[in-house]
Amino acid sequence: MMNVVSRKFRQKAALIPMLLVSLIVAGCSTSLPEVPADQRFPSQDYTYLIGPGDTMEIFIWGNEELSTSVIVRPDGKMSTRLVEDLEASGKTPTQLARDIEVAYADYVKQPVVSVIVNGFVGVPDQQVRVVGEAADPRSIPYKKHMTLLDLMIDVGGMTEFAAGNESVLIRTENNSLNSYSLRLDDLLKDGDISANMNLMPGDIVIITESWF
C-alpha cells in the first residue's frame, strides 16, 4: 500500500513545476474556471491513513508491560518491544492493530491490540499543501469537512505581496490534475463566504505573488 501511495505522490509532485509554468504563461488564474458550485461542498467519504511521523499509543490488553508509544519512521515502518520493522504507513489504525495482533500471536496468547493515533501527519496523498505567498506555507494533515477558510487560518493568511484572487487550486480528479481559480482576496479581505469551499485530501493551493 505504501509503495502505491508514494508512487502516486511522486507522480503528482513531478507535474507541479510544469503546472506552475503553464499558470504563469496563461496569466495565472484569470483563464481558469472556479470549482463548480455543485462541487464546492460535496459529501465526503474519508478514512484517515497512518503516515510517517505519526505518533501512536499501542495498547496490548492484559499485557500492560508490552503497551508502548511509537513514532512511524520516515520509511513508513515502526518497531515495538516484540516486533521490528512492521509496516504502518498507508494503513488505518484498525488495520494496523490487526496486523500487530498477528505479529504478537507468536509471543502472546490471543493478543487484543488497540492503536490510538495522537500525533497526526498522515500519508502525503492525504495532506493539503499551501505554497507561495502564504504567511506560513506548509503541508497540513487533511481533516474531514476542512474548508479553504480553515486552511488559510492554519497558515496565518497571506503575505502583503499576495495576489489572492489570482490563486490556484490543484486537485486530483479521476487520476488527473485539474486547476481551478480561487478568490482568496474576496474571502479573507471582503468576507465573501461564497468564495469558501470544502477541500479534499491531496489538494494544493498556490498563492501567487502580485506583479504590482
Q: Is residue 101 part of a domain?
A: yes
- 50 inside domain: no
pLDDT digit string (tens) for 46-102?
A: 999 999 999 999 999 999 899 999 999 999 999 998 999 999 999 999 999 999 999
**Looking up cell 494533515, which residue turns up?**
141
Q: How many CB atoms lie within 10 A of CB 105?
A: 11
Q: How confident is the model at residue 212 (pLDDT cuts 50, 70, 90)?
A: low
With bands split at pLDDT 50, 70 and 90, how would you rate the model's confidence at 30? low
Residues 113 and 132 in one domain: no
**Least confident stretch, 61-65, 119-123, 173-177, 183-187:** 173-177
Q: Is 29 exposed, middle or buried (0-12, 13-18, 19+ CB in 10 A)?
A: buried
**25: domain CATH number?**
3.10.560.10
Question: Domain check: are 29 and 97 in the same one?
Answer: no
Amino acid identity of 164? G
Q: Both 146 and 203 in a single domain?
A: yes
Domain with residue 82: its CATH number is 3.30.1950.10
Domain of 27 in residue numbering reads as 2-41+126-207
Q: Are residues 201 and 140 in the same domain?
A: yes
The string of DSSP letters for 75-93 reads TSEE--SS--SEE-TT--H
Percentage of residues in the chain having pLDDT higher than 70: 85
Strand, helix or coil for residue 169: strand
How many structural domains does the chain have?
A: 2
6-15 own/partner pairs: CB under 8 Å, 24+ apart: 6/124, 8/125, 9/123, 9/124, 9/125, 12/172, 12/177, 12/202, 15/177
pLDDT averaged over every residue in the chain: 87
Whether 138 is covered by a domain: the verdict is: yes
Q: Closest Cα to residue 37, out of 209, 194, 211?
A: 194
